[in-house]
Every structure is written in structure tokens, then in C-alpha cells.
Amino acid sequence: MNDRNESPEAPIIDHVGIAVNSLREAGARWSAILGEPPAGEETVPSEGIRAAFFGEGPGRVELLAPLTRESPIAHFLERRGPGIHHLCVRVVDLEAAVARAERSGAEVIPPRVRTGAGGARIAFLHPRSLGGVLLEMREDPAVG
């Protein structure tokens, strides 16, 4: 089976993740600019973050605030400050998408597959695999 048959749909940007120091402060700023409050907030213990999403469906904005100083987002903020952290694309079959990425030489960040916001199965590809962009692949639970 070729790559086109494994993933017949075009990539869809699920969300853009933005690292922030304070979810309350950044959330208030984004709410004022967008004219609406976040569509939802949740704690994601596996990633050590508290997240707020703006919008529904594809193209959402996700604000990510660290829960602890040891979380990956805390380390990102220490090194780079607030800003775009990752791009997330929806995939129909996460296992197939990860295998395809690995065959192409991409480095998957351990753990290979994990549970992310909204209970979705996710995987991250290391930025050195994609010219400095951290890519999250999110299995769309509505499709699977």
C-alpha cells in the first residue's frame, strides 16, 4: 500500500499550540481580541499542562500553561519565552501516520503514542525532523 492509500484525506490543521506563562492572563488577552471566551479548558497531566482552546473544529488556538517547573512547556518557556510551540494536524489512523513518519526518517518523541487534550491519541515529531517545527499528530476520535 502506498502512502496515498494509507492516508486518503488531505492534512487538516487541528490547532496551533501557543506556550504562555499564565493561562488566566493570556486567556483574558485572547478573549478580548477574539471577542469570545475559550471554548473549553482542561488539565492534561500526561503533558504537565493546563490548556485552553479558542474556537471549535479545525484551526483552533490552544494556549498551554505549565503545571510544574519540570513540564516540557515550562522548559520551552525558559528557553524561548511565550510563543508558538507546535502545529497539530489531524490524522485518521495515528499508528499508520507515525509509521509513515518513521519510514521517512522522522524522530518520534517518546512516548510514541500518548493521550492528549480531549482524550485524543497523539504523537509528537521532533522539531529537527521538520526544519524546527514541533508537529503533533492527533487521531480524530470522530473519524476512528
Q: CATH number of the domain at 114, please.
A: 3.10.180.10
Residue 97 has a pLDDT of 96
Asked if residues 131 and 55 have their Cβ atoms less than 8 Å apart, the reply is: no
Domain holding 132, by residue range, is 12-139
Separation of alpha carbons 139 and 123, rounded Å: 9
Residue 109 has a pLDDT of 97
Residue 143 has a pLDDT of 54
Asked if residues 98 and 136 have their Cβ atoms less than 8 Å apart, the reply is: no
pLDDT digits (tens, 9 = 90+) for 88-133: 999 999 999 999 999 999 999 999 999 999 899 999 999 999 999 9
Residue 46: pLDDT band with limits 50, 70, 90: confident
Omega prior to 111 cis, within 30 of 0 = yes
Residue 11 has a pLDDT of 82
Which ranges of 7-139 would DSSP assign to H, the alpha helix?
23-34, 72-80, 94-103
pTM of the model: 0.89
Separation of alpha carbons 95 and 121, rounded Å: 10
Strand 60-66 relative to strand 12-19, pairing? parallel
Residue 7 has a pLDDT of 47
Is 77 a domain residue?
yes
Q: Residue 128: which residues within 8 A CB-CB, separation 6 or more? A: 107
Is 1 a domain residue?
no
Q: Residue 137: which residues within 8 A CB-CB, separation 6 or more? A: 88, 89, 91, 94, 97, 98, 101, 122, 123, 124, 125
Is 89 a domain residue?
yes
Is 7 a domain residue?
no
* Domains: count for the chain: 1
